[in-house]
Every structure is written in C-alpha cells, then in structure tokens.
Chain A
C-alpha cells in the first residue's frame, strides 16, 4: 500500500500519457491538458512546504544564534513583507505600482541583474584557468574558443580568414557535436523515463 500502490500509479499514468500522445482526438487532448494542470496544481500546493522549510531553517539559525543569524532575520523580514504585501489586497496586491512591485523592481531586479553580470568576470577567469594546452582535448577547446573570440578582434586581412574558419566551425563540427549530444540525450532521457514508469528505478519514492 505505501509503496506498491504509488508505483502502480506511476505506471498507469505514465503509460497512459505515452499513448495519449498518439491520439489526436479531442477527448484525449482534453485529458492531456487536464493532466498538465494536475502537475501545476500539485506544485502550487507544495509551495507551502517550501515556505515552511525556508522559515524553519532561518528561524532555527536565529534561535540557536548560529553564526550570521542576524542575516537570517533579514530573510524572514523580506519573506514576511512580501507575503503580506502580496496577499492583503486580494489579487490587486501584485498589480504594477504597488509597494509589492516596487520592491520587486528595486530590490530583486538589480540583484538578479548584477548576479547575471558577474558572469562577465567569471567567464574570463574560467577561460584563464581552463584553457591551457595540457592535453589534445584541452588544446582543441582552447583553439576553437580563441578562433571564435578572435572574430571580434581586428586582425587586418587575417580577419577574413578567421571569419571563414569561425563560420565553418559553427556550421560543421559544432552542428555535428550538438546533434550527437541531442541524440544521446534523447535515448538517455527516454530510458530514464521508462525505468521510472516500469518501476525499475524507485528510490525517489522513498523506502519504509
């Protein structure tokens, strides 16, 4: 009951969803859309678990006065503020122009944009560390990355040659690499799904 029934549910719903894909009739189209809503709705309810987990971890840091517990207070204040602002006026709470959205635009957005911008620095340091001609493989990685980056550097007449080489790399070996990886992913992902559906892989369900 605790384990066998869920495994059976996975099997039945999985097989049904596979078959559904080949039936264009609208009754099955309806079932597909309904099933996708199941996933969304279950996910929405689970959000409460997430909020509880975040709160519990933060509160316990504060309670035990763990190092940096003061910062956890900020997390809790941020969370409580946004939850209150996001709920107290009904669905108007999240409209543009509310304090809720002001906080989003002026606290969340600059932080996420700056985190994203850190990549400009990290891509440089990663290139410095990784692109050493140690082995054949790392040399190939290094040389192709250089050729592609050199597109933007004026090299006089060499630029023309580099341009041709760069667009050849992008359209021939790069294309081949992508296709092969995609095919591999397709087979691997399908096999993983089948292992779940047929109950061969069931660790995610927990034991006991």
Chain B
C-alpha cells in the first residue's frame, strides 16, 4: 500500500514538475490552478494516547512557503475504505505537516472515534480557488497504549525521589540523626503559643481556602497536629474555623490526635473546630469578626490562600495578634511577607511539620528533599551549558511530551 502510494506521488510530482510548473509560470497570478499536492502522506496510531486518535503526517505542497506560495491550509479527509467517500475531519494552516484526528471515547458521543478499526486518509492542499489531493494513506488503526513514553522523565523523577525519601527515612529509622538549620518562622511558633498562654487568650488557626485535596492544606494538617499538641500542653484554647466540611472533619481528628499526644484528651473541644461557609469572602468576613471579638493572641495562616490573605493579615494586625503565615500560592506570599510577623515561603510550609515535631523520620524526608534539590541544581547547571553549546539531546532528557 505504502509503496503504491509513493509511486503515485512520484508520478504526480513528475507530472507537476514538467507540466504544471511551466503552465503556472505563464498564468503566474492565476489561483485557479491546483497547487502541487502534499506528498508522502502517512497515517498511524497516535502514540501515548487512550486509543481514539490517528496521527497523519505529510510533506508540504510545493507551493507552501515556496513556489507560488499560495497554499493557505491543508484539509484532512478520512474514509473507511480506500475507494469510499472521504469526509473532512479537520484543517490546519499552511506550514504545518501533521494532524491528529481525534474523537470522543464514549460510544454514544456524536464524535466517537472507534479504536481497532481501519481508516484511510487523504490530505488536501488548498489555495484561494482550487485544491489538490494527495494519494490515499492507510489503513491506520487507533489503539490505546499501556505506558506513556513522553512521560518517562516524570516517571524516572517520581521513582527516584520516592526511593530517596524512603532511603533516608529508613536511615533515620536505623538511628541516624540529621541536622536541620534553624528556621525563623518555626522558632517563633513556641514564643507565639507561650504569649497566648500568658495573655490568657486563644490561638486562631486558619487552614486556608483549599480543600482537603490540596497538598498545601494537607501540609497544614500536619502542622496543626504539632501546634495542637503544644497548645494542649499549655492549656491554651485553639480555634479552627474551616471553609470546607472535609477539611473540618480532618482538622477535628488532627487536633484530637494532638491533644492525645499531649496526654490531655479531656481538654479537646470539638466545637472549637467548626465550619462557617465555603464562599471565600463570606468566610473571611466571619474570620475577621472572630479575630476582633475573641481577641486572639496568635493567628496562624497556613495552607492555600488567595486574595483574602491580606484582609486576614491586616485585620489580625489591627487586633494586635502575632501572626505566622505560610502558603504555596505564589501571588499571596508578598502580602504575607509584608503584613505578618513570620512567613513560611513555599517549600518551608511543607518542611514545617518535620521541624515542629523533630521526629527523626520526617527529618529524614527533609534530607531527601535537599538531595533532590542538589540534583536539580546540578541538572540546571548542566542544562544551561547544554543549551549554550546546543546539545539538544541533554535538554530532551528533561522534556515531557504530552
């Protein structure tokens, strides 16, 4: 089939070269003459997909970007048999030589693309008033893959990092101790809880606006647990208003566990970890009220925050509370840095629970993060060298092809 295709396109090229070309020069500006057709059309399963797509490639028409330069677009046509009726499946602008013919995976969908079925393709080069068609390519069959080759760098990265984390944790388990440098925001936590105790005022802990599926919120749970333990030891009240019912449920378990760790399960009060509303600014309005009326001595803002970050931080500063913040939401870090006393920036938020608990296993995971960072930095330096000296292959190692 392919061979025949090639031959027909050769014939066509020959024909074009000796007949159409001189003619077209005579009728130089006449767009009614068809352009040379696209050649070497190939159709095959789209790699790394769910099995509802075929990729078509071709060689550009002679008038695309060269010759008369009057090709505007390519149309891609499909048929179920080489001689059957071809229907237009899509169009791409001139200069492009690939097209992915994809469809829905649901059988009931109008645009359903059946896998494991033979299809034939043609590509049409279009000018203003005319077009020309390539030979027929195919049959091509769409089928799904069981591994996404383009995601290999992600796979390797994930696997390597997982091994590093587990390795350092097992080292820690064997009793190896890891040093961690002091972190200003963390050192402030003890002082802040102590201050609340002295003043006899409650501590406010805000988990942010994220759901329990946001990793920043999950990191915040781990910090909340350590802080709840400390507040239980100090017999200080901790208030946790939530904006998501699941977050509330998990926060209740987390705080309760903290009180148990401190040996004070009797002091745990579920009603202090409550739900307000899920709507952003209604929630913020209520938290503002809590800060001013409960006169909280210390406010923690740790998790996912959006525009409300600054409203909370400014209201807290009006109330005279000590404020410790941390988020992975890039746009909000500046406001926390400006308006709160201590800010855990990005990765520091994720490291905080290890710092607070000083549990060796978690410190081991921190060490793994540092090792990964060192590898990233080394790769970056090598990558920059590779880019400067045009070693494309090195960059490809890190490129994810979706």
Contact = CB atoms under 8 A, between A and B. Distances in A.
Classify A-B as touching or not with yes or no (CB < 8 A). yes
Interface of A: 18, 21-27, 29, 39, 42-43, 46-51, 53-54, 56-57, 60, 67-68, 108, 111-112, 115-116, 118-119, 122-123, 125-127, 129-131, 141, 178, 181-185, 187-196, 198, 200-201, 203-208
A208 B260 contact: yes
A182 B169 CA distance: 24
Given A49-B249, A195-B362, A200-B362, A24 B49 contact: yes
Nearest to A46: B245
B219 interface: yes
A31 B148 CA distance: 16
Interface string B263-275: 0000000010011
Contacts of A188: 219, 328, 346-351, 369
Given A26-B51, A108-B279, A57 B257 contact: no
B313 interface: yes
A130 B351 CA distance: 26
B123 interface: no
Given A189-B216, A203-B258, A194 B144 contact: no
A14 B131 CA distance: 53
A44 to B, nearest CB: 9
B310 interface: yes
B222 A192 contact: yes
B253 interface: yes
Interface of B: 48-52, 105, 144-148, 151, 154-155, 158, 161-162, 165-166, 169, 211, 213, 215-216, 218-219, 221-222, 225, 242, 244-246, 248-250, 252-254, 256-258, 260-261, 271, 274-282, 284-285, 293, 307, 310-311, 313-314, 317, 328, 330, 333, 335, 337-339, 345-351, 353, 361-362, 365-366, 368-369, 372-373, 376
A168 B345 CA distance: 23
B154 A22 contact: yes
Contacts, number: 211
A190 B376 CA distance: 14
A56 B350 contact: no
B395 to A, nearest CB: 16
A21 B338 contact: no
Given A141-B338, A192-B222, A187 B49 contact: no
B221 A203 contact: yes
12 contacts: A26-B51, A43-B246, A68-B293, A112-B282, A122-B339, A130-B339, A194-B162, A194-B165, A195-B365, A201-B362, A206-B253, A207-B256
A194 B49 CA distance: 27
Contacts of B335: 123, 126
A176 B176 CA distance: 35
Nearest to B226: A203
Contacts of A184: 346-347, 373
Nearest to B328: A185
Given A46-B246, A189-B328, A193-B215, A129 B339 contact: yes
